[in-house]
Amino acid sequence: MDLPVVDLSRYLGISARRGAGALPPAAAEVEAEEVELRALCATVSGCLRDTGALLVKDPRCSVEDNDRFLDMMERYFGRPEEFKRLQARPALHYQVGATPEGVEVPRSLVDEDMQAKIKLMPEESQPAIPRGPDPKWRYMWRVGPRPANTRFQELNSEPVIPEGFPEWKETMDSWGSKMIAAIEVVAEMAAIGFGLDKDAFTSLMKQGPHLLAPTGSDLQRHGSLGTVFAGYHYDLNFLTIHGRSRFPGLSIWLRNGQKMEVKVPVGCLLIQTGMQIEWLTGGKCLAGMHEVTVTNRTLEAIEFAKQQNRSIWRVSSTLFAHIASDAILKPLGHFAETPFASKYPPTCAGDFVERELGVINLKGRKGYS
């Protein structure tokens, strides 16, 4: 199956006109608009609930924006390892700056419950089994304002800027803010589709520790079929958004257990559900499981890039949108009455994030590197 593509233009246009205080349209037009918007919102919430993923088109996020970001990150990840390690901050849980390859441990490598569930899957739906930490680099860049006072300073630290990239801050801030804006619209639409207040999710996202977190995978060294760059896992945040990568390889698992390699059309963004939205919906939305491996389509893209003399670093244009660190995660509204709501007790978002980071080997310790 293919994921539906939701064009956000219509929702943005109607919202902008209403916010500008323009003369209200005729009653019949208002009613037609409401029917259209509610159908769009139902598509968003239904897709997140049933598949854990959604493709969107946002007129504010252009192909040129994505390409400019990818070009810069390909140059960065192509720099020597000793240079990139200068930007690593293990004492801050690697939540800013560089995370070297071989540090992040995929959840499926250490979670025994997850391993037991994998064994019960049909063979064709089982993920690749990683043999160790992920052989990918990552760069963490904070997007948006941070809270003046927080118990979780490590999750809200100042960004790290590598030398030799004068365009770094402007490029990262520009692309990151555009993807956050797309996430906020999807969060509004999902809330409406789920029968919650429009700002049920976005109000909790304000001053969250949002992270633009591109990965860099060296396909020259690790480009053989079946290599696991990101082992089977879920994301711990609220929603994850990706621009289109130049090299395929991302597979997701639908709610029914089916494995699907994702094809992101040009000009589209991929959104995936994380653990925080699972918490807020009392398990109605489950965190989407996914992995990144070298597939046959990846190998074809590598050959094409070599013919064009382009970089063969696989860069993911990934952003993790979070609930604010000091906010409380709990099932919202009618989700508090769902059968599984008791599995999601009130929990401080920052505490939850720190626990999850500890499991995947990213929580810094004294003397850890």
Q: From the CB of residue 291, how many other CB atoms can be counted at a distance below 10 Å?
A: 22
Q: Is the predicted pLDDT of residue 163 greater than 90, yes or no?
A: yes
Q: Give the angle subtended at the CA of 286 by the CAs of 101 and 274, to the nearest 5°.
A: 40
How far, in Å, CA of 38 to CA of 5, rounded?
A: 16
pLDDT at residue 20 in the model: 62
- Which residues are CB-neighbours of 336 under 8 A, at least 6 positions away? 282, 330
By DSSP bridging, strand 328-329 and strand 250-253 are unpaired
Nearest Cα residue to 329 out of 213, 235, 205, 240: 205
Mean pLDDT of 91-118: 86
Radius of gyration of the chain (CA): 20
Q: Which of 49, 51, 64 is nearest to 244 (CA)?
A: 64
DSSP code for 333: G
pLDDT category of residue 267 using cuts at 50, 70 and 90: very high
Overall average pLDDT of the 138-157 stretch: 79
Q: How far is CA 200 from the centre of its chain?
A: 20
Model confidence at 3, pLDDT cuts 50, 70, 90, reads confident
- Runs of H (alpha helix) within the chain: 9-19, 27-51, 63-77, 81-85, 107-110, 112-120, 168-193, 202-205, 275-280, 296-307, 349-359
58-72, 97-111, 265-279: the lowest-pLDDT one:
97-111
Q: Is the per-residue pLDDT at 153 higher than 70?
A: no
Q: Is the pLDDT of residue 69 over 70?
A: yes
pLDDT for position 365: 33
- Is the pLDDT confidence value at 345 over 50? yes
Can you state the angle between helices 63-77 and 168-193, rounded to 10 degrees?
130
pLDDT for position 182: 97
The reported pLDDT for the residue numbered 60 is 95
Q: What is the mean pLDDT of residues 92-120?
A: 86
pLDDT at 46: 95
**What is the pLDDT confidence band of residue 305, given thresholds at 50, 70 and 90?**
very high
Averaged pLDDT, 190-198: 97
Gap between the Cα atoms of 101 and 229, Å rounded: 9
- Secondary structure class of 161 (helix, strand, coil): coil
Nearest 5°: phi and psi at 314? -85, 110
pLDDT at 22: 60
If one counts every other C-beta atom within 10 angstroms of the C-beta of residue 67, the result is 14
pLDDT band at 25 (very low <50, low <70, confident <90, very high): low
- Sole residue written with tokens 């680099």: 137
pLDDT of 135 strictly over 60: yes
The model carries a pTM of: 0.89
